[in-house]
Amino acid sequence: MAKFVFESAMERIEEISRLLQNEKLPFDEMMKLYEEGTKLSAQCEEYLEKAEFKLKIKEEN
């Protein structure tokens, strides 16, 4: 499994967003892109929550 890289995930989300704005894409392709974007978004949110937690712990010490 590849290492999660926040910046790469955000770039891919932006790319997916641009692709989804293309109304000429077949519905199935749009759904695949949407699902990929949703998964990446969840991973980014989890990454940021962990970073925030680490910062809070560091501030408390």
Q: What confidence tens digit (pLDDT) does each residue in 40-59 have? A: 999 999 999 999 999 989 88
Tell if the pTM clears 0.85, that is, is over it. no
Half-sphere exposure of 19 (CA within 13 A, CB side): 17
Q: State how many domains the chain has.
A: 1
Q: What confidence tens digit (pLDDT) does each residue in 27-37 have? A: 999 999 999 99
Q: Please give the residue range of the domain that contains residue 19.
A: 6-60
Q: Where are the alpha helices (DSSP H) in the chain?
A: 6-20, 27-60
In a domain, 32, yes or no: yes
Average pLDDT, stretch 13-19?
Answer: 96
Residue-level pLDDT at 2: 63
In a domain, 1, yes or no: no
Residue-level pLDDT at 42: 97
Q: Residue 56 carries which side chain, given as an amino acid letter?
A: K
In a domain, 10, yes or no: yes
Burial tier of 16 (Cβ tally within 10 Å: 0-12, 13-18, 19+): buried
